[in-house]
Chains A and B, each alone.
Chain A
Amino acid sequence: MKAASVVFKERDFYNLSRGQSLIAKTREWLDYCLVEEAEVVVFPGLVGCLYDCSARFLDDILKVSLLYKDIYICPGSYFEEQNSCKYHSSCIVKNGSIYLQQKQIYLAKWEKEQGLSRGVEVKSILVNGMKTALMVSTDLFYPQVSRQIALDDVDLVLAPAAIRGGKNVRLQLSGLWQNVQQNLFFGVESGLKGNLFNHDFYSYSAIHGPLEMTARENGLLAFERKTDKNQIITAMLDNEQRKEAVKKFNTLAQLNIDLYKDIFR
């Protein structure tokens, strides 16, 4: 399966925050996905917060998805209200329908200040034969979320990211990259660059795989470069090749489960 991650530039944020239509820009990105024959695409974290209302954002995304009916779209993340609680959430849509919705499980300090609530469960669906889960932004830094996903036999994690203070690439490395290496699923991450809620966010887009299956043994199947003019990055996710890589370094086979009983004492 071919996966794409949207490369969100600082100038994209500048243009969008000064009136460019997010939906028009979304269509532009999806057109690139069509050209590249991507079957699944991830948009950046918090991109839905560029809309005033998340319900309207989702409605518009669902309408757009009808025009790209073969592509599974994770439209980035957004705030949503349910039962008078506000969550940081994301979803997977295709051809006018929502296939999966996921609330963020853990909160960053700035999210607590926003009065957000926490999700309590991780869900997954099949996307073209690959068991797929969503991991929303802050959860990238809480490895217990990744582990639960991995032990549910998930093959692919889609991660809309918005990392506060993320200009230091090492901070990003300590997020999804390392979770892929200790859990051995694929990870498609799209990062926001911009200022929202008076906070600066910066992270790169990258497609991660187990180190043993990547050409340079660096765990990266594709990644955004500063000088890159591409609007998306893509990579072929070969699940059989991933399983072969897992055989070479099967971390999950050596779990010492009895030891973990009091992990949250």
Chain B
Amino acid sequence: MEMGRVIECYFNRKLNPKRIKKYLEEINPNLGYRERDQDHIVVSCVQRSIKLVGRIEEYIDLVDSFISQAAKRGSGLIVFPEYNFFDLLGILPGIRSINAYLNKKFSPAERNNSTDGSNKGNAFLQEFFFSVAKPIQNAIEIIMGGLARKYRIYVYTGSYLIREEDGLYNGGAIISPQGEILGVQKKLHLTDFEEGLGIKRGDFLNVFQLDIGKVACPICMDATYFETFKLARSLGCDLVILPIANNEEYNLFRALRGIWPRVQESYVFGLKPSLNGWLCGLHFTGKAGIFAPLEITDRKDGIISMAKKDEGDFMITGRINLKDLYRVRQNDEYYGDVNTEFEKNYFINTYKGV
């Protein structure tokens, strides 16, 4: 049997749905107080560090700790970060030793002595991720669905790898308080690293009508492109979830190239859950945050709430009010103008030569 099949079988055994469901049954949720205010919605955003787990139960506990905290704060929605499955790679025998070795090898102190490029070994990684994608996707969807139902909360799963016939995608699902998967969004703009891994990009932006508003869930790099948010607005979206896992050292201005300016120009609420920490020599940083147009934030800085540090575990919770959003869309100086003549042939005039 080829190595890929062996790894897939191993993960299928370790992430057995029956075992997951059995463990989920034992969880007794404390639902907390859910705000019934028609105008305000409480939302929670996860920032967490990667923790390789040896057993699926550890991962369930990890996810449950965030969801239960969000529920206690009265949240109607909790969102998890990009690559929210990295912890599960710890199930592979020997991975912790390899991880420790690579993290040391690529630590800031050692990096200058290293001659390896980060894309080396891509063929191996591609095959590996292809093998583990299905079992991990199944496990995450069962876990998140089960916990969403228990806590009666909308859950954005964070992203994981989605294996389809034509290849691998980076995507995440939005799940209803009844535990139903309402839909999946694939990442639309890839990093060079992801391209190197053979990950494919999605070709459609979905918008989900939740009872807390219309939501889109693009991923990380998608916020580097105004087009993503312009499309979301064209589809009537009020809230954009943007999970990140930035493989670079934190810099405020780099961070400002992402969701913050998109929220300012498109007048939506933005939720940015973030994954951080080290995995196999890769360093992830980033602050989770909840963003809004300048005018409706207390300090006029576009930030409703943001993590204090770019590493570590935080739960960011904030109250958002769609009526405030609709009001500033009406009143703000630099939003909402339409130039039909300019826009009529915009697509062909702008992208024709690319």
Instruction: Give A contacts to B, CB under 8 Å.
Output: 105-110, 112, 118-121, 138, 141-144, 147-148, 151, 164-165, 168, 170-171, 173-174, 178, 181-182, 211, 217-219, 251-252, 254-265
Contacts and interface: CB of A to CB of B under 8 A. Distances in A.
Interface stretch (B3-11, B44-52, B121-129, B201-209): B201-209
A148 B253 contact: no
Nearest to A265: B234
Contacts of A178: 256-257, 261, 264-265
B190 interface: yes
B337 A107 contact: yes
A164 B203 contact: no
B101 interface: no
Q: Which 8 A-B pairs have the closest CB atoms?
A: A178-B261, A174-B264, A141-B334, A143-B226, A264-B343, A148-B350, A120-B341, A106-B337
Contact of A148 (B203, B204, B335, B346): B346
Interface stretch (B31-39, B56-64, B103-111, B294-302): B294-302
B333 A165 contact: yes
B221 interface: yes
Given A141-B265, A143-B265, A218-B253, A251 B231 contact: no
Interface string B148-177: 000000000000000000000000000000
B333 A261 contact: no
Interface of B: 188-190, 201, 203-205, 221, 224-227, 230-231, 234, 251, 253-254, 256-257, 260-261, 264-265, 294, 300-302, 331-335, 337, 339, 341-343, 346-347, 349-351, 353-354
Given A151-B350, A168-B294, A256-B188, A219 B230 contact: no
Given A259-B205, A264-B346, A211 B254 contact: yes
B221 A254 contact: yes
Contacts of A261: 347
26 contacts: A108-B334, A118-B341, A118-B342, A120-B342, A121-B342, A138-B337, A144-B226, A144-B230, A147-B350, A151-B351, A151-B354, A164-B333, A165-B333, A171-B294, A173-B261, A174-B264, A174-B265, A182-B261, A217-B251, A217-B253, A255-B225, A255-B354, A256-B225, A256-B227, A257-B351, A257-B354
Given A144-B350, A260-B351, A263-B234, 9 more contacts: A106-B339, A109-B333, A144-B226, A147-B350, A173-B256, A254-B224, A259-B188, A259-B231, A260-B227
Most buried by B among A108, A138, A144, A265: A144
Contacts of B225: 182, 251, 254-256
A211 B334 CA distance: 25
A110 B354 contact: no
B257 A262 contact: no
A32 to B, nearest CB: 29
Contacts of B334: 108, 138, 141-142
A256 B350 contact: no
B76 to A, nearest CB: 28
Contact of A181 (B190, B205, B230, B257): B257
Nearest to B264: A174
B15 to A, nearest CB: 32
Given A105-B342, A118-B339, A168-B300, A262 B333 contact: no
Contacts of A148: 346, 349-350
A257 B327 CA distance: 32
Contacts of B230: 143-144, 263
